[in-house]
Amino acid sequence: MGAGRFAPSPSGDLHVGNLRTALLAWLCARSTGRSFLMRVEDLDRVRPGAEERQLADLRSMGIDWDGPVVHQSERARLYDAALASLGGRGLLFECFCTRREILEAPSAPHAPPGAYPGTCRDLTEAERDERRAVRPAAVRLRAGTASFTIHDELHGSYEGVVDDFVLRRGDGAIAYNLAVVVDDAQQGVDQVVRGDDLLSSAPRQAYLATLLGATPPTYVHVPLALNSAGQRLAKRDGAVTLRELGPSAFALVTASLGLTGTTAGELLDGFSIERIPREPWVFVPPEEAPVV
């Protein structure tokens, strides 16, 4: 059997929506006999002390994991090897476009707004030399398809757009879409549970996995936690972290899933992937909840 995982970015404390997704990822993995892995996605924003607090909060929720915590910042050789493999097959090209230029460029037929229009795909070497003198190049995948279909346990068959997406940014940083695919494949992750705001990116990642010789994982994109205004829950919404909510955090999360139990292990008895709520969880801080 494979593995599930949770992969937080150490940019700040986890709020109850993040903790809910982490608990679901743990429940999905443990209920299906999988290992559960912890990976810190620290290629970009890192706030000192955030990782330690995040891991402590997860442990206090009863979430455990198998093996050591893995850090993306220590896996550069794996990402470089993947780029070399793709480049050796002619599946990469340099791109010199800014985000503004991409947004303002005419879109390809049937492509959604913001999809890469192919501006730098077929530049000559002379044109690339000229642009390199102006700005550093990002590296994009030379995609061989316009769409790809994945299977999601909650959403069923989902077909999404695949464009020539960035694998290495102009500043040299590895892009999330490459790192997550390489990591999941190398770690044996075959079940990915995460927020449904990432559903549209799954076809790109699954397609890339096939190019790298990996089998795409099974996906479970779960509904997000929202504030009372119907917006994605964030720190600005007040008391939303475990440290702010105290012991009530676990009870709030479990109640939102329709589960009962005082520990994560007790929740397994009544859990199945099919029973995961399909609607977003509207989080109401305890101090704002109506008195019954």
Task: Give the amino acid at 280.
Answer: P
The 3-state DSSP class for residue 193 equals strand
* Rounded Cα distance, 54 and 6, in Å: 11
* In contact, 245 and 239? CB cutoff 8 Å: yes
Phi-psi region of 170 (alpha: psi -120 to 50; beta: other; left: phi over 0): alpha
Q: Binding site annotation covers 143?
A: no
Q: Which two tokens stand for residue 136?
A: 């550093």
φ/ψ (deg, to 5) at 38 = -120, 125
223 is in an annotated binding site: no
Whether 28 has a binding-site annotation, put simply, is no
Q: How far apart are CA 108 and CA 119, in angstroms?
A: 10
Q: Is 235 annotated as a binding residue?
A: yes
Query: Binding site annotation covers 111?
Result: no
Half-sphere exposure of residue 211: CA atoms within 13 angstroms, side-chain side: 27
Q: Which residues are catalytic?
A: 235
User: Is 41 labelled as part of a ligand binding site?
Assistant: yes
Query: Is position 207 annotated in a ligand binding site?
Result: no
Report the chain's terminal Cα–Cα distance, integer Å.
Answer: 46
- 94 marked ligand binding residue: no
Q: Which of 87, 104, 80, 115 is nearest to 200 (CA)?
A: 115
* 96 carries a ligand binding annotation: no
Binding residues for Zn(2+): 95, 97, 116, 120
Binding residues: 5-9, 41, 95, 97, 116, 120, 176, 194, 235
Binding residues for ATP: 235
Binding residues for L-glutamate: 5-9, 41, 176, 194
